[in-house]
Structure 1
Amino acid sequence: MAVVCGTDEAAARLKKLFSEYGLSVVVGDHVTGQETGPWPILVMINRLSEGFLWQELGLTFITEEEIFGRKVHRPAAPRSKVAPFLSSFKELKPGDFVVHTDYGVGEYQGLTHINVDGFETDFLTLRYEPDVKLYVPLYSLDKVQKYIGVEGSAPKLDRLGAPAWAKTKAKVKKDILAMAQELVAIYAAREAQTRAAFTPPDNLYREFESAFPYEETPDQQKAIDDVLSDMQRPRPMDRVVCGDVGYGKTEVALRAAFKAVEDGMQAAVLVPTTLLAEQHFRTFSARLAPFSIRVEMLSRFRTKSEQLETLKGLKSGTVDFVVGTHRLLQKDVVFKNLGLLVVDEEHKFGVKHKERIKEFKKLVDVLTLTATPIPRTLHMSLAGIRDLSIIQTPPLDRQAIQVSLARFGKRVIREAILRELERGGQVFFVHNRVQGIERMADFVQNLVPEAKVGIAHGQLKEDEIEDVMAKFIAGTMNVLVTTTIIESGIDIPTANTIIINRADRFGLADLYQIKGRVGRSREKAYAILLAPADEVLTETARKRLRAIQELSELGAGFRIAAQDLETRGAGNLLGKQQSGHIAAVGIDLYTQMMEEAMAELRGQELSPEPDTQITMRASAFIPEDYINDPSLRLAAYKEVSSVGDEAELRDLADELRDRYGLLPEPAANLFEIMSIKIIAKKAQVARIDASKAMVQITFAEGAKISPERVMLLLKRNKGKIKLVPEYTLQLVLGDESLKTASNAVKKCLQELL
């Protein structure tokens, strides 16, 4: 028998699966027709639409899809990095406040193109007191972050060269170290908790994995691997998986649940709404039932007798998996052997419920799924108290939702509804006040008589909600006037327009979640935010509505969390005590200092990297005719300056080539200079200065460079490299090209590392 599959990964998975059943397997890419039996199982990497029998050889060919079902292939998309989520310059505009690590809070004034000795480059222009400009070179943009402080207090600009900024940083660092000691104690307590480790994936798990009807995206696979790795450790898992609606978080939870149940434990999914419970129940049942796993649900949609039956099953162990609302947290819910708790959108639960979830964390593995992490979750993840995985690859053919802002008016509402109905779609009309919801539904029905309007809100009886949703899902109702009961989990691919009344009254993360109810298919989706005139709105509401419009691209959920910090302020991140520090240095630098303090207290060696100054005889910038949009060009500069290694730099260059075409010479030069900076920072180089036929490399004071290696370098390169005073090497070049200088510098530093 020969099994034909399309990728190396699928072939490796099949080989492992067959081998675990004790079968002989050979992986190859073709059959010549000269072979003779007896045949092992051949796993071939090739293309085949359907299986057939090769009678002369007595060999049956079958495809991977004929065994596991057809997979939907998702095109690879560039993965964003987690670390600079707050530091992105994509939304930075002239007049915004920024923080330079060395000089403090300044005002961003734009990019300035400067010609120095015949060579052109761009600089970031910042204004400081007393009206002094600082020009930041492109290779040093990693020292600059957008300022996000606390609500209602604009920062004061620092004076360039004054000692105040250094004193501020020292005070903040001292207090952060004190607070970090508490966090380290929490971390240590977490590490001290133990439970029996789960077993590694086996053949049954591989079968379950292969039944997934899509091809895993790279970051989704990484999240799955992270979770399985956590489960195989002796300490309980506490991981947050962040990804936009429909990006594959549920499958990550399914893999973890299957592993838990396979190892003889029970698993539970805790969700904030009955509608989401219903949807998860259907999804989990469909995937787990073929493997004889009993899935039940606890929510208002279940009768009393059904709930009692489920409770008995959980206590006796005959129920393997349960999906439920906060009903799961009540005292009468007793598990025989709970091993995994999946929490969907933790921030939707109240204080009492969160306290109960905390109790679970001491005993079982907890996996939290979220589209927009709340500031505290974000902070705990960055500080290393909770582990974090990000899924940022959009589903196949998903389009960004078009967001528009309008005043409440008959024409706007009627046109939006009719546009959707004319293409056979459905509409959500969100009105978040139960008292007036029936009047609003009558208004919509009279405005659009062609529509079939229904109402849904949390004060309806369970069977009434179920009946309305069933009609809407079936398509017998095409406009649903609803409260935010639809905020989580309703997956209706034909609903592709949402109208949100009084959008100014919603939080940014809430708006993002509600907006995510549409755009679940290939159809273009629309979100219309209805709000009063600008002059009536508060400054915070204006910022929020502007942000939801600007952050409408795919995968913006993680950045919404950062933007939410900016609009609400970060004062409540860890209590009032820290708000003054965040106001002083901004959330990004504060987080960076927190990470450094945590590492220091854990005994990790921190070798400070110098901000290497590089002067090369070459024009280095991204031309305007290559990336026209100034904000995208600025974001690209920030990414280039923040890369940590050569592989990341190559990936970024490939990404720009894919988006904008071949790199023009000045842009290629910029990448070459950044390549020099990566190795120079590792070697603790303070400055690199190129003249016509020479490069000088000056090391930072206290750089840990072996004198023996320096002497060996000088001996090998007699006449080409000289050691001169003040920790400096002089390299003589054959010509004055950037490539020659770059190769010479990198070769020299490589020999010293």
Structure 2
Amino acid sequence: EAAPPPGRPPRPGGGRGAPPRGELALATYRELLGFIRKRRALRRGASHRARFLADVSPGDFVVHADHGIARFAGIVRRDVGAEQRDYLQLRYAGEDRLYVPIEQIDRVSRYLADSDRAPRLTRLGTQEWARTRARVREAVGELAADLLRLYAARQLLRGHAFAADSEWQHELESAFPYEETPDQTRVIAEVKRDMEARQPMDRIVLGDVGFGKTEVAVRAAFKAVQDGYQVAILVPTTVLAQQHERTFRERLAPFPVRIETLSRFRTDAEARELVAGLREGPVDIVIGTHRLLQPGVEFANLGLVIIDEEQRFGVAHKERLKRMRLEVDVLTLSATPIPRTLHMTLAGIRDMSTMESAPEDRLPVQTWVAEWDDALVREAVLGELERGGQAYVVHNRVLSIDQFADRLRRLVPEARVVVGHGQMPRGVLRSVMERFAAGEADVLVCTTIIESGIDIPNVNTLIVDLADRLGLAQLYQLRGRVGRGSQQARAYLLHRRGGVLNEAAQQRLATIFEATELGAGLQVALRDLEIRGAGNLLGAEQSGQIAAVGFDLYTQMLASAVEGLRARRDGTEAPAPPPPVALDLPASAFIPERYIEDLEARIALYQRIAGLRDPGEEADLRAEVADRFGEIPGPLHELLSLVRIRLAAGEAGVAAVRAEGGEIVIVAREGAPFDRRRLPALPAGVHVGQTQLRLPRAALGADWLEAIEALLRLMGYPQPSPARARAAVRA
């Protein structure tokens, strides 16, 4: 076949025609597939952020797992003999103080519970905390049994096991115009694994706004459609339904999939036709608001329900969704899950996947909290117009929104202002949103209708009027509507000039101001739990138990109880968490200020060090820190050495390692004395007692910390029989 003439347009599907025989033709990605695959940096979000210390200030209540409720008094550096160490200072009842080594920071958590009543501080040296934990453990055991019955009932249900990925699935995924983040890849695999199992899926995907949750939904929906099942996608607003429809149509355009939307933008005749299509089967994917949950909406073969921002649906709708979970696979997408959902997830009853990888070039939104000021608003709007962008101005009162918009037009006459809210006629609202998305207006004055999922990258300024009257999740979602491109976005949360804010409103605004970091949705949800109190979470009785020990420890105890009952039911032994190892060694273990000057960076590193669980993680962290900050100084080297000793001691069944006089004392864990163990051949000078090993520190030399770690590692290895051990020693 002859080569096509120069300039001939590409054939459908790519390429300019077949090359002459024996020659090679090159085609671009755009010619073959119609688009360019954009690669973005696979940059991790702040998954190792200092979850405790970054949120806590001196005077805040904290919980030590072993010693109870205290007030956090800050980080102090203390002399231990001739050495220096950093400690958390905790103040208990009666002015008692506890100094917790900084490497044990994971034993301390922030106290979260009903914020209306301050907790009672624990008194050290008494059985008070042990009795409190025992009481809560009993209550948690009863709740765990109830939750486990619910979980067991779900496990007994049989749903449809979807087939493995088809060739079409691979084609859809290869056509994604971005490079998947590591979290997207992992979450997609988890969702597919659930769908291919016999039990109905009930998974919540938690990811910050704009982190790629919609693509997870697209792939799950297409997988269900290929097995001949219908998919229902529930969204809280008509505007979001319209946007999801655009996204799904764009991604699934090359495939024979019928996608429809059921919302108030549809006429009654169109809605009746669509409902008939659902009942008879030709509609594969339907995207809709709560109208999808109304009586009379039936499906021919529903297999998957995707819920976007479940907290926006009412109680009756949630009951309908609860029944759906017993019948079909359910995938929930959320940036700020409501506390009950969060709690059920943490307790292991619902499966949770988290997405923390930020998109390329995404910058945190600069946030201001202030009184309403005409000059500030004018400056903010004009500043956005000067860089060619657009702005949202949220006024969540339909009755006065038109007067508010007129006031804004007089304040900023240079701006083209349009109004949009949920009570407008459907054709008018659709027209307003389309004009604004097309850039035909500069400012959209609207209610919280923009809260969920609206994605217009050119909008990078948000102004919220009466922000103190909105919920924390609403504020967080609204702020997520800006900053979706590479431009620096700004959010102004304004309250009435001269007005008095109640304590809950102050806490909400303070939280949203502090949670500017990318991927802070989980942090916001936990703070929401604290602000709202736990009374509505599991009832008054469980609320009292949460108040007694704090939400974090309560959740750990509940998860442990659920795991124990589940293991007992299965006839296995629940793995007991290893008891903490007590270290008291004279080492200068801290991060010098001259090495890492930024306090937040130093705190985050302490948090990561406390979370290390194996020597490989420690080696990786050591290499990363040296790469970022330079050669590791002596005090930090000794801090990391203490972490390695703690890990080795845990593997060796050791309860404590301490210095006494000129000796190093290694204490056996309770129930595992040394005189009953098959110990390896130990170095000369080691005295072996029933519960202790003693060795002179002077015999260990200058690298005494490394020598202790080596001894503990030796004790932790499986030992051969006595005869083989003697032969090994002779050799």
The TM-score with structure 1 as length reference comes to 0.88
CA contact (8 A) 1:617 1:738 kept: no
Q: Which amino acid aligns with 2:414?
A: E
Give, in whole Å, the separation in 1 of the partners of 2:438 and 2:28. Answer: 35
Q: How does 1:86-101 map to 2 (within 5 A)?
A: 88-101=52-65
Partner residue of 1:75? Answer: 41
Alignment CA distance shift 1:246-1:651 (3 Å)? farther
- How far did 1:64 drift? 6.8
The counterpart of 2:101, out of the listed 109, 133, 137, is 137
CA contact (8 A) 1:683 1:703 kept: no
Give, in whole Å, the separation in 2 of the partners of 1:533 and 1:742. Answer: 64
Partner residue of 2:723? Answer: none
The counterpart of 1:411, out of the listed 372, 375, 386, is 375
Partner residue of 1:724? Answer: 689
SS of structure 1 residue aligned to 2:575: coil
CA contact (8 A) 2:307 2:332 kept: yes
The counterpart of 1:667, out of the listed 630, 636, 640, is 636
Give, in whole Å, the separation in 1 of the partners of 2:488 and 2:314. Answer: 35
Give, in whole Å, the separation in 2 of the partners of 1:729 and 1:226. Answer: 49
Q: How does 1:204-283 map to 2 (within 5 A)?
A: 204-283=168-247
Partner residue of 1:459? Answer: 423
SS of structure 1 residue aligned to 2:160: coil
Q: Which amino acid aligns with 2:653?
A: Q
Matched, 1:119 2:88: no
What fraction of aligned residue pairs are identical, expressed as a percent? 46
- How far did 1:721 drift? 4.4
Q: Which amino acid aligns with 2:236?
A: P
SS of structure 2 residue aligned to 1:709: coil
Alignment CA distance shift 1:653-1:252 (3 Å)? farther
Q: How does 1:488-503 map to 2 (within 5 A)?
A: 488-503=452-467
1:153-199 deviations in whole A, cap 9, x for unaligned?
Answer: 01111111121111111101101101110000001001000123111
Matched, 1:682 2:645: no
The counterpart of 2:312, out of the listed 344, 348, 357, is 348
Give, in whole Å, the separation in 1 of the partners of 2:668 and 2:218. Answer: 52
SS of structure 2 residue aligned to 1:290: coil
Please say which of residues 188-197 and 688-697 is displaced more in the overlay: 688-697
Partner residue of 1:748? Answer: 714
CA-atom RMSD in angstroms: 2.6
SS of structure 1 residue aligned to 2:537: coil
Please say which of residues 720-729 and 618-627 is displaced more in the overlay: 720-729
Alignment CA distance shift 1:261-1:478 (3 Å)? same
Give, in whole Å, the separation in 2 of the partners of 1:330 and 1:166. Answer: 51
Give, in whole Å, the separation in 2 of the partners of 1:406 and 1:377. Answer: 32
Q: How does 1:559-578 map to 2 (within 5 A)?
A: 559-578=523-542
CA contact (8 A) 1:51 1:63 kept: no
CA contact (8 A) 2:45 2:519 kept: no
Q: Which amino acid aligns with 1:613?
A: A
Alignment CA distance shift 1:655-1:365 (3 Å)? farther
Q: Which amino acid aligns with 1:430?
A: V
Give, in whole Å, the separation in 2 of the partners of 1:405 and 1:583. Answer: 30
CA contact (8 A) 1:617 1:736 kept: no
Give, in whole Å, the separation in 2 of the partners of 1:54 and 1:67. Answer: 15
Q: Which amino acid aligns with 1:228?
A: K
Partner residue of 2:4? Answer: none
- How far did 1:734 drift? 4.3
Gaps in structure 1 of 5+ consecutive residues: 1-49
- How far did 1:370 drift? 0.2
- How far did 1:682 drift? 3.3
Q: Which amino acid aligns with 1:623?
A: P
CA contact (8 A) 2:43 2:360 kept: no
Partner residue of 2:7? Answer: none
- How far did 1:79 drift? 5.2
Give, in whole Å, the separation in 1 of the partners of 2:419 and 2:178. Answer: 35
Partner residue of 1:108? Answer: 72
The counterpart of 1:702, out of the listed 671, 677, 680, is 671
Give, in whole Å, the separation in 2 of the partners of 1:127 and 1:420. Answer: 48
Please say which of residues 148-157 and 700-709 is displaced more in the overlay: 700-709
Q: How does 1:320-719 map to 2 (within 5 A)?
A: 320-532=284-496, 536-603=500-567, 604-653=573-622, 656-657=625-626, 660-689=629-658, 695-703=664-672, 707=676, 709-710=678-679, 713-714=680-681, 717=682, 719=684
- How far did 1:398 drift? 0.5
Give, in whole Å, the separation in 2 of the partners of 1:81 and 1:689. Answer: 33
CA contact (8 A) 2:391 2:443 kept: yes
Gaps in structure 2 of 5+ consecutive residues: 1-14, 568-572, 720-731
SS of structure 2 residue aligned to 1:736: coil
1:216-244 deviations in whole A, cap 9, x for unaligned?
Answer: 11111110010001011100000000001
Alignment CA distance shift 1:657-1:388 (3 Å)? farther
Alignment CA distance shift 1:430-1:740 (3 Å)? same
Alignment CA distance shift 1:160-1:67 (3 Å)? farther
Alignment CA distance shift 1:459-1:528 (3 Å)? same
- How far did 1:342 drift? 0.3
1:500-525 deviations in whole A, cap 9, x for unaligned?
Answer: 01111111111000111111111110
The TM-score with structure 2 as length reference comes to 0.90
CA contact (8 A) 1:241 1:249 kept: yes
Partner residue of 1:300? Answer: 264
Q: Which amino acid aligns with 2:644?
A: S
Alignment CA distance shift 1:374-1:51 (3 Å)? farther
Give, in whole Å, the separation in 2 of the partners of 1:565 and 1:723. Answer: 51
